[in-house]
Amino acid sequence: MKLIMKKVITSLALAMSFYYGKAQQKDLLNELSNDTNLTQKVTGAFKSTRVINAHSTEMLAKKSLDVRICHRFGLISLGPRQFYGLDIASMRLGFDYGITNNLMVGLGRSTFRKELDGFAKLRLLQQATGYKAVPVSILLAGGATVWTEQSFDSVKPRFADRSACYLQLIIGKKFTRNLSLQFSPIVINSGKAVNSGGDPTVFALGGGGRFKITRRMALTLDYHHPLGKMPFGNKSPLSAGIDIETGGHVFQLHFSNTAGMNERAYITQTTGDFFKGDIRLGFNLSRMFYLGKKAAKW
């Protein structure tokens, strides 16, 4: 009798444990299925906060500092006498900082026209997948510039004549893990038209793209087409290049028809025609630093 009772109790215990195990498995499966209903933000559409010249949909993380060194050399068509443009260079040194994950600011100094520039970029929407999917990322960028080179005009320019400001809308989407595209119209207002025959206010339609070819390398392209009354000889800025990620650095090597490295300069003062051989070699070097306190290791 005792043996029979022992077998019954053992069987009941095994049945209960089996039922409990199945219930736990079901709860775990339900939890995993619910995870598919979570919202997952899409990141890494671009490797840098700039496609090449233009702002990208990427933002700096909070308390991150991006030190950027940018060079644009002379025209390759100048030939060996000017070492294919490498003897001539303009440079921009910039410092960009993430105030929050959705707001960043930056300051820069260019040798081109000895220009100072500053900007702020705000993310309004971030692309996401899952339960509350967001199809695109939307950002606003706004900034101001002032050139400080010596003027030889008979009437000296005022500060307002030397200044310009811009506002840019950026709409981008990461279509696949390899392909990202963005649309980035911009309006620029200068206190005074840079060249005679131009309009102080310039609107331009622009865009950019990135195609990842390896884990650490990607092809990039950005372009803007100014609309309205432009000075004679002004061309649309076009740049094409390759991004190379090396640890804490992002190295952007590219070919471009513009020497300017801020929005006013490259949109309103590009005189070279890319398709007629007016091409410059250039690079952007980005080095990231984190200025917050490191999390404690347990």
Quick: pLDDT tens for 269-291.
898 899 999 999 999 999 999 88
Residue 241 is predicted with a pLDDT of 96
Residues sharing a CB contact under 8 Å with residue 176, sequence separation 6 or more, in sequence order: none
Query: For 100, what's the count of Cα atoms within 13 Å in the CB-facing half-sphere?
Result: 5
Domain contains 296:
no
In a domain, 297, yes or no: no
Residue 297 has a pLDDT of: 45
Asked whether residue 298 is domain-assigned, the answer is no
Shared domain check, 56 and 4: no
Q: Is 269 a member of any domain?
A: yes
Which pLDDT value is given to residue 67? 96
Residue 76 lies in a domain: yes
Tokens of 63: 């308390």
Residue range of the domain that includes 126: 39-290
pLDDT tens, residue by residue, 149-180 = 888 777 788 888 889 999 999 999 999 999 99
- The verdict on 123 and 233 lying in the same domain is yes
pLDDT, greater one: 243 or 16:
243
Report the CATH number that the domain containing residue 103 is assigned in CATH.
Answer: 2.40.160.40
DSSP, collapsed to helix, strand or coil, labels residue 214 as coil
Structurally, how many domains does the chain consist of?
2
Q: Which of 30-39, 102-111, 138-147 has the lowest mean pLDDT?
A: 30-39
**pLDDT for res 8:** 39
Same domain, 29 and 134: no
Vertex 285: Cα angle to 96 and 124 (nearest 5):
40
Element (H, E) at 92: strand 89-100
Q: Say if residue 233 is in the same domain as residue 111.
A: yes
Do residues 170 and 46 share a domain?
A: yes
**Confidence category of residue 249, pLDDT binned at 50, 70, 90:** confident
Tracing tokens 């709409």 back to the chain, one arrives at 171
Q: Rounded mean pLDDT of 125-150?
A: 93
CA-based R_g, the chain, Å: 27
User: Has residue 60 been placed in a domain?
Assistant: yes
Same domain, 151 and 25: no
- Assess if residue 176 is contained within a domain: yes
The span from the CA of 59 to the CA of 105, in Å, is: 10
What pLDDT was estimated at residue 123?
A: 97
Cα–Cα distance, 92 to 180 (Å, whole number) = 26
Helix (H) or strand (E) holding 85: none
According to the model, what pLDDT value does residue 192 have?
Answer: 76
DSSP state of 48: S
295 inside domain: no
Q: Domain check: are 157 and 23 in the same one?
A: no
Shared domain for 230 and 161, answered yes or no, is yes
Residue indicated by tokens 């300017």:
260
| Mean pLDDT computed over 30-40 | 62
- For the stretch 196-241, pLDDT in tens is 566 888 999 999 999 999 989 999 999 999 987 777 778 999 999 9
This prediction has a pTM of 0.82
Confidence of residue 293 (pLDDT cuts 50, 70, 90): confident
- Kindly tell me if the per-residue pLDDT of 21 is higher than 50: no
Does residue 170 share a domain with residue 24? no
Task: Band the pLDDT of 195: cuts 50, 70, 90.
Answer: low
- 22 shares its domain with 90: no
104 and 6 both lie in a single domain: no
Q: Please tell me whether residues 107 and 18 are part of one structural domain.
A: no
pLDDT tens digits, residue range 67-121?
Answer: 999 999 999 988 988 898 898 989 999 999 999 999 999 999 999 889 999 999 9
